[in-house]
């Protein structure tokens, strides 16, 4: 005859199953809170927090920073936003778009946005910082580089060596201007210079607006050169010499937060093994042919 199991056996199975379900639900809720509020804060459940957005490396797209600005701008528990900057700049349009989003959040949401420059806050990164209420930089930080650069790689000699010819059919005299397989004509040179000059004028004007100055005062500083944080203060490019910690504590006091402020950061996007296997591998192994398919680019970037 089969042995009958006791009631405690079934009670143990039920209890274990319930514990596993509760653990799974807890993990799901915790993951959701992290994805929404970075470290679990900034969900509207707490109060008196300072949001910190990191702007690091070359700025290629405004999408991530703009979405973070919008999220923290709409969060009533976030009293101020600090842009923690360590970037040489990047794409002209991308930098400009983030600058205008900073102004929009400040004006429409009535929320303070402070820039704290770590090692580098140059060109497009400084463009963004100039739209903030205040700029902090360390003594040895690199600041400035107000200017525009346009560049591409001319591989005409390589094509001639390989006995290759670039065939282009176009309508419009300047349609193929910037063709990297040949040298520019004088008219193309003047054409591109006019575009760069126009972007330069926009850069100078927006920095002047953000710094509550005038184009005439900013233009002598817009030579493309950089200064240290210590040199930048008397030039009016920054407001205070100091690091991230000083910017955090002074911003907290200014918005009425006493004591140590709570800090919320955006959740970091994590790519698992499944995502890496599912994509086409371009991020890991770029196609060499793409190196020959680069259009001329306009950059607010210090090099």
What would the pLDDT profile of 150-202 be if each residue is shown by its tens digit? 887 888 888 888 888 888 888 888 887 878 888 888 998 999 999 999 999 99
d(CA 253, CA 10): 59
What would the pLDDT profile of 221-267 be if each residue is shown by its tens digit? 999 999 999 999 999 999 999 999 999 999 999 999 988 899 999 98
Q: Determine which one of 17, 35, 175, 214 is catalytic.
A: 175
Nearest CA to 70 out of 59, 84, 81 is that of 81
pTM listed for this prediction: 0.77
217 is catalytic: no
Q: Calculate the alpha carbon distances from 221 to 21, 165, 204 in Å.
A: 63, 44, 9
Token code pair at residue 93: 């349009």
Token code pair at residue 55: 């702007």
What would the pLDDT profile of 118-164 be if each residue is shown by its tens digit? 999 999 999 999 999 999 999 999 999 999 998 878 888 888 888 88
d(CA 234, CA 214): 16
Token code pair at residue 237: 């490019």
Of how many residues is the chain composed? 303
Q: Determine which one of 77, 87, 116, 123 is catalytic.
A: 123
- pLDDT grade for 19, boundaries at 50, 70 and 90: confident
123 is catalytic: yes
Q: Contact, 48 vs 262, CB < 8 A?
A: yes
């Amino acid at each position: 005859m089969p042995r009958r199991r006791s009631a405690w056996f079934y009670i143990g199975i039920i209890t274990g199953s319930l514990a596993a379900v509760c653990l799974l639900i807890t993990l799901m809720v915790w993951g959701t809170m992290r994805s929404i509020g970075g470290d679990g804060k900034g969900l509207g459940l707490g109060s008196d927090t300072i949001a910190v957005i990191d702007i690091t490396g070359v700025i290629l797209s405004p999408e991530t920073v703009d979405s973070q600005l919008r999220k923290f701008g709409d969060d009533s528990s976030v009293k101020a936003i600090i842009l923690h900057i360590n970037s040489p700049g990047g794409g002209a349009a991308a930098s400009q778009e983030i600058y205008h989003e900073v102004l929009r959040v400040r004006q429409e949401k009535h929320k303070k946005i402070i820039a704290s420059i770590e090692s580098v806050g140059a060109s497009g990164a400084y463009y963004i910082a100039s739209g903030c209420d205040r700029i902090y930089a360390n003594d040895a930080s690199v600041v400035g580089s107000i200017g525009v650069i346009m560049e591409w790689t001319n591989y005409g000699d390589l094509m001639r060596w390989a006995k290759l010819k670039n065939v282009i059919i176009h309508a419009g005299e300047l349609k193929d201007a910037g063709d990297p397989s040949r040298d520019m004509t004088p008219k193309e040179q003047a054409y591109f210079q006019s575009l760069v000059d126009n972007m330069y004028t926009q850069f100078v004007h927006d920095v002047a607006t953000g710094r509550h100055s005038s184009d005439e005062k900013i233009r002598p500083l817009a030579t493309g050169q950089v200064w240290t944080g210590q040199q930048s203060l008397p030039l009016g490019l920054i407001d205070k010499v100091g690091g991230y910690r000083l910017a955090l504590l002074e911003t907290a006091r200014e918005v009425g937060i006493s004591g140590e402020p709570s800090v919320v950061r955006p959740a970091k996007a994590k790519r698992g093994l499944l995502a890496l296997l599912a994509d086409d591998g371009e991020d890991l192994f770029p196609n060499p042919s793409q190196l020959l398919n680069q259009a001329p680019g306009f950059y607010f970037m210090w090099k």
